């Protein structure tokens, strides 16, 4: 374009041309430049027109990148969530963006969508941008975007809101009950709530749940990484209340903690999990038995229990029906060894002069068992003291309401009442059978009034106070009136918040027992309940699995710290069926060198 001008100057470098020639030349070049500029303007205008034509632009915005990236496993909880597209975008208000199922807001700046959300430490998130949420100016909608990521940090760093957890079944987010934290709470209904946590430090974490039960007591199960740990009792409350669930043991990494439907729905507000640097702490077991001047054999047995507690686990079986060693024999015939402990039940011994009752069997079999270095345990399903042959279940817990008993334990405070006198008669009868063991130099692990807090037996139907009064009355009668110094007293507790209220007291109890039936094929550790009972009662008493269904794997007992003094599955299917224990599990139990069988027992005489 400038060539002619250059040539002109070269040709006329010696003599100057007329001024008009300069003017004409520059005018010519100026016109050419204007034509070029006009052509470029026409091109750009035409291009823009094509872009704005709906028929021409059918390409939806494409995602270029996201922060965090899909699958990211170490995201800073303070990070900003953003998405970058290849074109300017528009955000629709009619299609909610969901973060773990909860709607969140977004803001657009040119090609970037930024999500407004508060992230919690140690939590896994799934974020979904639906297909009709993001478009370009022409209305072309981007495809659905779905990413998952996990934030870093300890569970101690924050509160885990239930409404941000994973809910299943018909569990639903609600806002009706005032005073909740966050944006709502979860009514579990018949569904489950699963929290995902990220533990940066291996160890024990104190677990708490803020809940309400609409005034009714409820029970649900606690699961860790898909394995049932324990049942949790949610007391009858109307206001928001905190349940201390105990300690969970977490390895470094991601875990799921779930509240799984058992009996009754709860309103769940949030969960906290705080790392406990102190761990589980040590026991400080009482040095001596609560019975004054206990027998030599009782002391020997108690010292044996103390010495092995926390290191070895004593195996046991329960009589079937109540006065035989059928289950122990079955275990021996199928697993090759005798359990160290066998249990009997004085269930019918207060019903006199019945030809079908084997009154002498517990002592006869118990003496033989003791002579083979075994341990003898005794339970008492105490039938209605007034009828002697009636039920021990209250009507609501009986197979049919008309077969239950309405015996009134509150009469324990009235020595003139028929009920009080009937209880004294029965205690005295039982004392006679226990005295046989005393006279033979045989100590007895004695477990009466078991599972009282459940309320299904008459001795627990009226609450804690009359039950504790009856326990103390029985203790005084057996120890001080009948002189029985061969008993080791076992109180059966649970891990509920009010368990301590039922406790007769350190002066009346040698061992704390728990009756746990976790369900079929549930051989996981029960350390949640074990450690909670240890904490509630100050670690001053031995703790035993006094009854159970599926027995925890002893290897897991050692790993998690719930080394029960002994375990004793109930009779029938709980001992023999493969759905609970069965041959395979009994052989496995006995394969551990720290599980004590009768052949490993020393003489405690």
pLDDT in tens, 552-602: 999 999 999 999 999 999 999 999 999 999 999 999 999 999 999 999 999
Distance CA 523, CA 501 (A): 30
In this prediction, residue 47 carries a pLDDT of 45
The pLDDT score that the predictor gives to residue 29 is 61
pLDDT band at 6, cuts 50/70/90? very low
pLDDT digit string, tens, across residues 255-298: 999 999 998 899 999 999 988 888 888 999 999 999 999 999 99
Q: Report CA torsion sign: 345, 347, 348, 350.
A: positive
Residue 22: pLDDT band by 50, 70, 90 thresholds?
very low
Fold entry, domain 63-152: Immunoglobulin-like (2.60.40)
pLDDT of residue 199: 85
Percentage of the residues of the chain whose pLDDT score is greater than 90: 75
pLDDT band, residue 55 (cuts 50/70/90): low
Domains 156-275 and 296-600 share a fold: no
Backbone angles phi, psi at 133, to 5 degrees: -100, -35
Ranking 2-16, 219-233, 240-254, 391-405 by mean pLDDT, the lowest is: 2-16
Compute how many other C-beta atoms are within 10 angstroms of the C-beta atom of residue 279: 12
pLDDT at 392 over 70: yes
- Its CATH architecture, for the domain 296-600, is Alpha-Beta Barrel (3.20)
Percent of the chain with pLDDT over 70: 89
Among 134, 81, 132, 138, CA closest to 104: 81
Sequence-distant (≥ 6) Cβ neighbours of residue 190 within 8 angstroms = 169, 170, 171, 261, 265
Q: Which of 368, 451, 465, 535 is catalytic?
A: 451
Residue located via tokens 């269904």 = 549
Greatest alpha-carbon pair distance for the chain in Å reads 153
559 catalytic residue (yes or no):
no
**Cα distance between residue 221 and residue 227, in whole Å:** 10
* Set 161, 163, 327, 547: catalytic member: 547
- pLDDT of residue 54 exceeding 50, the answer is no
pLDDT tier at 34, thresholds 50, 70, 90? low
547 tagged catalytic: yes
pLDDT at 377 over 90: yes
DSSP state of 457: B
> Could you tell me the pLDDT band of residue 254, with boundaries at 50, 70 and 90?
confident
- Give yes or no for residue 15 having a pLDDT over 50: no
Question: Residue ranges per domain, the chain?
Answer: 3-52, 63-152, 156-275, 296-600
CATH classification of 156-275, choosing from 3.60.110.10, 2.60.120.260, 3.30.70.270, 3.10.580.10?
A: 2.60.120.260
The mean pLDDT value of the chain amounts to 90
Residue 4 corresponds to which tokens in the numbers above?
A: 């002619």
Euclidean distance between the first and final Cα of the chain, in Å?
122
């Amino acid at each position: 374009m400038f060539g002619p001008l250059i040539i002109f100057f070269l040709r006329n470098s010696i003599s100057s041309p007329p001024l008009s020639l300069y003017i004409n030349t520059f005018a010519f070049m100026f016109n050419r430049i204007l034509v070029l500029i006009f052509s470029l303007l026409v091109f750009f205008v035409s291009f823009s027109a094509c872009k704005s034509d709906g028929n021409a632009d059918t390409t939806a915005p494409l995602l270029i990148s996201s922060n965090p990236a899909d699958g990211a496993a170490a995201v800073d909880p303070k990070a900003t969530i953003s998405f970058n597209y290849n074109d300017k975008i528009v955000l629709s208000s009619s299609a909610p963006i969901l973060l773990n199922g909860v709607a969140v807001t977004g803001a657009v700046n040119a090609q970037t969508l930024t999500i407004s959300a508060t992230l919690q430490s140690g939590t896994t998130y799934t974020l979904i941008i639906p297909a009709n949420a993001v478009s370009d100016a022409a209305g072309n909608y981007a495809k659905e975007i779905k990413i998952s990521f996990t934030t870093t940090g300890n569970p101690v760093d924050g509160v885990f809101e239930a409404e941000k957890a994973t809910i299943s079944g018909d569990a639903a987010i609600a806002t009706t009950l005032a005073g909740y934290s966050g944006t709502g709470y979860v009514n579990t209904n018949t569904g489950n709530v699963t929290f995902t946590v990220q533990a940066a430090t291996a160890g024990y974490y104190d677990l708490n749940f803020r809940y309400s039960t609409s005034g009714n007591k409820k029970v649900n199960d606690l699961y860790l990484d898909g394995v049932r740990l324990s049942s949790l009792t949610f007391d009858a409350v109307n206001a928001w209340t905190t349940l201390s669930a105990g300690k969970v043991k977490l390895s470094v990494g991601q875990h799921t903690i779930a509240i799984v439907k058992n009996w009754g729905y709860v309103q769940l507000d949030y969960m906290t999990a705080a790392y406990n640097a102190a761990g589980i702490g040590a026991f400080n077991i009482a040095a001596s038995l609560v019975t004054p001047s206990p027998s030599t054999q009782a002391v020997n047995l108690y010292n044996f229990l103390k010495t092995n507690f926390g290191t070895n686990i004593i195996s046991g079986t329960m009589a079937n029906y109540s006065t035989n060693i059928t289950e122990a024999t079955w275990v021996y015939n199928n697993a090759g060894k005798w359990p160290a402990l066998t249990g009997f039940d004085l269930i019918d011994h207060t019903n006199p002069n019945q030809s079908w009752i084997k009154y002498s069997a517990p002592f006869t079999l118990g003496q033989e068992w003791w002579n083979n270095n075994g341990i003898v345990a005794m339970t008492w399903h105490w039938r209605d003291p007034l009828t002697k042959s009636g039920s021990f279940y209250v009507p609501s817990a009986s197979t049919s309401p008309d077969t239950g008993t309405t015996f009134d334990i509150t009469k324990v405070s009235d020595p003139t009442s028929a009920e009080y006198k009937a209880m004294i008669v029965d205690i005295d009868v039982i004392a006679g059978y226990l005295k046989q063991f005393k006279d033979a130099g045989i100590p007895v692990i004695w477990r009466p009034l078991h599972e009282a807090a459940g309320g299904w037996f008459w001795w627990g139907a009226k609450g804690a106070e009359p039950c504790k009064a009856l326990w103390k009355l029985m203790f005084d009668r057996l120890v001080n009136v009948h002189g029985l110094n061969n008993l080791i007293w076992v109180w059966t507790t649970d891990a509920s918040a009010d368990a301590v209220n039922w406790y007769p007291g350190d002066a009346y109890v040698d061992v704390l027992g728990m009756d746990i039936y976790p369900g079929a094929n549930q051989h996981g550790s029960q350390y949640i309940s074990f450690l909670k009972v240890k904490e509630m009662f100050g670690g001053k008493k031995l703790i035993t699995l006094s009854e159970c269904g599926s027995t925890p794997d002893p290897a897991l007992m050692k790993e998690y710290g719930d080394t029960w003094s002994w375990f004793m599955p109930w009779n029938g299917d709980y001992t023999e069926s493969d759905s609970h224990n069965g041959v395979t599990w009994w052989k496995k139990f006995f394969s551990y060198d720290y599980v004590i069988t009768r052949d490993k027992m020393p003489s405690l005489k």
